[in-house]
């Protein structure tokens, strides 16, 4: 059964999407992708493959299991979505699809990341007729159920807890899943989701009867055991962190007393060179305090933390993406799902306790070929976290006296 291709322009050709060949770069043209998918890629403005896309697509498109080590912001979402959508186009269902029986399941640790994946999937499949539904906690269960009941779903994007709610109520069956994607496995582990993920994986077909694409920013022993359990002879692809963010981000570490942080932050926010920025804090209460402080100084900003109601979080994130909000204050968990081009600055009000989170934070800027600036405040307390960050990024950092001109 061919998918509904409403919106597909049958007279569109690759001649309308000319990307010149460049040495050491792969084009999406080079992978013989379906024409409607190429139309979606062209509409999104993609040109050349990122390293994770170049290395994973040949295997994923050939139905191999893949384990990929890559940070957020490297293009891995498009990599696995392109593979899944191509598979569905080339092997359409022979019988009528069944409601509540997705063909692909994509698991993500946070609501923001899941919603971002849903948006990317809808963009790529715009001319293909494939249907994507996202089910996440913190949003109206019944509205999500209505979307599932409306018509069959091809791609289901979910966070573990909410998916289990649907499974326990027999509203979703994973018995027909052809492709399982697990994104940010290390974060799943850190957040205690692995028991839930195991329950979910066991309800999909055996790993010999499905394709599994498994991504993680790090591959320690615990993550490797999970990958070994859920994949069959996977092709392992590694994109090192130093090729992700540090090449395009000007990293600055400012020595500053704890009692000087607020005044320094205010000075930065008042400078028009700070075009669009994310300020990272380590805790929810610190996030709310900074928002209150900046708003009290007539700086327009909003906070993004786990205790903010989901509807407000989505509205805030959309305003930031649309350019209507210049400054966002966020915690690490909330910040994981922010994939917005054009962020000029990342400010670490406090250095994260986990070195990996530092790379995730600064990866919010310097995206899509642009450059960015990351400014980290280093007080007496923050200095304890510096050695682990230096080891993780593979270079020594130099702390300087604050330069109050962020340009």
For 356-403, write each residue's pLDDT tens digit.
Answer: 788 888 888 877 667 789 999 999 888 888 888 888 787 888 888 886
Indicate if 222 and 254 belong to the same structural domain.
Answer: no
> What is the per-residue pLDDT across 24-60, written as a single tens digit (0 to 9) for each?
889 999 999 999 999 999 999 898 999 999 999 999 9
Indicate if 252 and 135 belong to the same structural domain.
Answer: no
User: Does a structural domain hold residue 63?
Assistant: yes
Q: What is the CATH number of the domain that holds 159?
A: 3.40.50.300
Indicate if 333 and 195 belong to the same structural domain.
Answer: no
Closest CA to 213 of 240, 193, 192, 231: 231
Indicate if 220 and 94 belong to the same structural domain.
Answer: yes
Domain final residue pick, 182, 216, 239: 239
Range of the domain at 385: 243-400
Indicate if 219 and 252 belong to the same structural domain.
Answer: no
**pLDDT the model gives residue 202:** 96
Helix (H, G, I), strand (E, B) or coil at 98: coil
User: Does a structural domain hold residue 405?
Assistant: no
Indicate if 256 and 383 belong to the same structural domain.
Answer: yes
Number of domains in the chain: 2
**pLDDT the model gives residue 368:** 61
Indicate if 228 and 343 belong to the same structural domain.
Answer: no
User: Does a structural domain hold residue 5?
Assistant: no
Indicate if 178 and 266 belong to the same structural domain.
Answer: no
Domain final residue pick, 183, 205, 239: 239
Indicate if 162 and 51 belong to the same structural domain.
Answer: yes
Helix (H) or strand (E) holding 317: helix 310-322
User: Does a structural domain hold residue 4?
Assistant: no
Q: Residue range 61-68: average pLDDT?
A: 96
Indicate if 55 and 29 belong to the same structural domain.
Answer: yes
Local structure of residue 145 (DSSP, 8 states): H
Mean pLDDT of all residues in the chain? 88
> What is the per-residue pLDDT across 221-261, written as a single tens digit (0 to 9) for each?
899 999 999 999 999 999 875 444 456 788 999 999 999 99
Say if CB 253 and CB 378 are below 8 A apart. Answer: yes
User: Does a structural domain hold residue 25?
Assistant: yes
User: Does a structural domain hold residue 2?
Assistant: no
Q: What is the DSSP string of 22-83?
A: -TT--BGGGGT--HHHHHHHHHHT--B--HHHHHHHHHHTTT--EEEE--TTSSHHHHHHHH
Indicate if 274 and 161 belong to the same structural domain.
Answer: no
User: Does a structural domain hold residue 318?
Assistant: yes
User: Does a structural domain hold residue 280?
Assistant: yes
Domain final residue pick, 191, 224, 239: 239
- CA–CA dist 150, 306 (Å, integer): 30
* pTM of the entire predicted model: 0.70
Indicate if 189 and 267 belong to the same structural domain.
Answer: no
Per-residue tokens: 334: 């909330």
């Amino acid at each position: 059964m061919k998918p509904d291709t409403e919106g597909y322009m049958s007279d569109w050709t690759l001649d309308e999407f000319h990307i010149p060949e460049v040495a050491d770069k792969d084009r999406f043209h080079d992978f013989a992708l379906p024409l409607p998918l190429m139309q979606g890629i062209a509409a999104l403005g993609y040109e050349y493959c990122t390293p994770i896309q170049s290395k994973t697509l040949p295997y994923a498109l050939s139905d191999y299991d893949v384990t990929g080590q890559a940070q957020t912001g490297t293009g891995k979402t498009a990599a696995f979505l392109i593979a899944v959508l191509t598979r569905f186009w080339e092997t359409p269902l022979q019988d009528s699809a069944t409601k509540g029986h997705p063909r692909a399941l994509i698991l993500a640790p946070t609501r923001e990341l899941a919603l971002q994946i849903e948006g990317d999937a809808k963009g790529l499949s715009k001319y293909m007729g494939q249907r994507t539904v996202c089910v996440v906690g913190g949003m109206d269960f019944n509205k999500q159920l209505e979307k599932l009941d409306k018509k069959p779903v091809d791609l289901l994007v979910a966070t573990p807890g909410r998916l289990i709610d649907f499974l326990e109520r027999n509203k979703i069956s994973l018995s027909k899943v052809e492709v399982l994607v697990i994104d940010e496995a290390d974060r799943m582990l850190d957040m205690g989701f692995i028991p839930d993920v195991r329950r979910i994986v066991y309800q999909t077909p055996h790993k010999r009867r499905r394709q599994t694409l498994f991504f993680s920013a790090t591959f320690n022993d615990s993550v490797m055991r999970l990958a070994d359990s859920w994949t069959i002879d996977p092709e392992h692809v590694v994109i090192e962190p130093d090729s992700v963010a540090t090449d395009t981000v000007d990293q600055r570490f400012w020595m500053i007393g704890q009692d000087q942080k607020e005044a320094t932050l205010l000075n930065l926010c008042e400078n028009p060179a700070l075009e669009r920025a994310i300020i990272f804090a380590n805790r929810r209460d610190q996030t709310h305090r900074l928002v209150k402080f900046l708003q009290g100084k007539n700086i327009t900003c909003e906070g993004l933390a786990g205790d903010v109601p989901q509807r407000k979080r989505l509205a805030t994130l959309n305003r930031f993406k649309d350019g209507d909000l210049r400054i966002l204050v966020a915690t690490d968990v909330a910040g994981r799902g922010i994939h917005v081009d054009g962020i000029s600055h990342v400010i670490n009000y406090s250095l994260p306790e986990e070195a990996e989170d530092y790379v995730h934070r600064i990866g919010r800027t310097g995206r899509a070929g642009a450059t960015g600036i990351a400014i980290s405040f280093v007080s007496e307390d923050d200095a304890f976290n510096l050695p682990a960050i230096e080891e993780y990024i593979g270079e020594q950092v130099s702390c300087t006296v604050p330069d109050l001109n962020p340009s």
